[in-house]
Structure 1
Amino acid sequence: MNGQGGWGWRAVKAFTVLVYLFMFAPIAVTVLLSFNPAQFGGFPMEGVTLRWFWELAANDMVLRALRTSLLIGALSALICTLLGILAAMALVRYEFRGKEWINTLLISPVLIPETVLAVGLLLFLRWLEQPRSLVLLLLGHVMLTLPFVVLVVQARLIGIKRVYEEAALSLGANRFQTFREVTLPLLMPAVLAGILLAFTISFDNVTATMFWRPAGVETMPTQIFSMLRNSISPEINALGTLMIVVTVGLPVIGAALARYVGRGQR
């Protein structure tokens, strides 16, 4: 039995390694080819160069897409953080009629497939005879990212004992002062994580953005899709590498900041 169990675990580990290789090998190849000086990337590489990154910096379409993604991502993160804190406070600290329905409504965008949500909102906007615009694109991104912020802040808020807030209230502080001086500092790790998570999700979104963006407006993911559709250029690999750095680096930075802030509060 021990021999069979040992071989079984080895097979599971080998299969797990193969799955991870299948998932991450294309990412590794994209990063490597972004530094390949050859016009048509391939292996073996002919050397290492930053040429395609410099050409990206001179590409007006890519720069416009970057500015749009940064604007939408930053505004989405700001709005979702403010709304997420308020929603989490209401859902965790207070009891009111319809609380379960509101909680389900806030979390529902996570449960619905993104394509279905994107098409449904687009049809609803057409029924209202509203043209696609940057404002509506921003509202769509807020709808997609808000549930994640609410869940992160809720998880942190549940672990904060109410005795701290009650002590502040008993010492004469009003509710706003209690929130500003006691609750918010304790929530700060979750707030930082929520901001970076919301920005990353918005910055990296492509499926819903394809349906909601106004004509002539591109974000970074849709710009990559457009470049892939029109031609195969080494700049795509460089652009993909930048997207990978942002979407992987920001969550890591967020986790490190949350841990650092959490340690400072102990």
Structure 2
Amino acid sequence: MTDTKGWGWRAIQAATVLVYIFMFAPILAVVILSFNASRFGGFPMTGFSLHWYAKLTENEAVLRAFYTSLWIGCLTAVICTVLGVMAAVALVRYEFAGKEWVNSLIVGPVLVPETVLGVGLLLANRWIGSKPNFVLLLCGHILLSLPYVVLVVQARLIGVKRVFEEAAMSLGANRFQTFREITLPLIMPAVFAGLLLAFTISFDNVTASVFWRPPGVETMPTQILSMLKVSISPEVNALGTLMILVTIGVPLIGGVVSRLMMRRSVE
């Protein structure tokens, strides 16, 4: 019986390893081939080179797409953080009619496929007689990122005891002063994590951006798609590697900083 359990556990471990290899091997191949000296992306590599990264800095289309994604990501992060904190405080600290409906409405976009949301918002925009524009693109990114900020801040706010806020109000502080001096510093790690998470989701979004971007405007993911229509060159691999670094590095940095902020708040 022990042998059966041992073999079963080993089979599960082997299947898990195979799944991870299947998921991350293509990503690793993109990163490795971005340093290929040859113009044709493929193995075996002809040499190690940073030429394709340098070439990205000379590509005006890539630079425009980067600035567009950076600008939209920053706006999305700031707006989602402000709205997310307000929504989380309202949902956790106050009781009002239709609270469950509001919570479901905010979290709903997480449960709906992005393609469905993209097509739906595009059709609604056309129904009112408007064409895809920058405002629609920004609103779409906010719609997709806001639920994550609300969920992160909610989880932190639930752990904050109300006695701290009640003590501040009993000493003469109003609700805004209590939030600014007591509540906000205690939930700041979650607020910072939500800010970076919203930026990452917006910067990496591709499905919705395809439907919502105005003509002639490219974000980083849609720029990669347009480059793939021509050929798979090491320049595309280099751009994909940078996208991987941003989408993985920003949340990791946010997690480390949030933990440090939580430790300081506890101390």
Residue of structure 1 in register with 2:254 after alignment: 254
1:108-147 aligned at under 5 Å gives the runs 108-147=108-147
* 1:152 partnered with 2:155: no
Residue of structure 2 in register with 1:10 after alignment: 10
SS at match of 2:43: coil
State the Cα deviation string for residues 78-108 of structure 1 (Å, max 9, x = none): 0000000000000000000011111110010
Retained in 1: the 8 A contact 2:34–2:52? yes
RMSD of Structure 2 on Structure 1 (CA): 0.6
Retained in 1: the 8 A contact 2:41–2:232? no
Residue of structure 2 in register with 1:102 after alignment: 102
- Distance in 2 (CA, whole Å) between partners of 1:47 and 1:61 is 27
1:234 positional shift: 1.4
State the Cα deviation string for residues 135-185 of structure 1 (Å, max 9, x = none): 110001000000000000000000000000000001111111110110000
Residue of structure 2 in register with 1:189 after alignment: 189
Residue of structure 1 in register with 2:174 after alignment: 174
Gaps in structure 1 of 5+ consecutive residues: none
- Distance in 2 (CA, whole Å) between partners of 1:35 and 1:174 is 58
1:39-58 aligned at under 5 Å gives the runs 39-58=39-58
1:232 positional shift: 2.4
- Distance in 2 (CA, whole Å) between partners of 1:134 and 1:213 is 7
Paired amino acid for 1:224:
I
Gaps in structure 2 of 5+ consecutive residues: none
1:43 positional shift: 2.0
Residue of structure 2 in register with 1:85 after alignment: 85
1:231 positional shift: 2.2
* 1:63 partnered with 2:57: no
- Distance in 2 (CA, whole Å) between partners of 1:245 and 1:219 is 16
Residue of structure 2 in register with 1:233 after alignment: 233
- Distance in 1 (CA, whole Å) between partners of 2:4 and 2:215 is 60
Residue of structure 1 in register with 2:222 after alignment: 222
Residue of structure 1 in register with 2:209 after alignment: 209
- Distance in 2 (CA, whole Å) between partners of 1:199 and 1:32 is 26
Provide the TM-score with structure 2 as the length reference: 0.99
Count of paired positions: 266
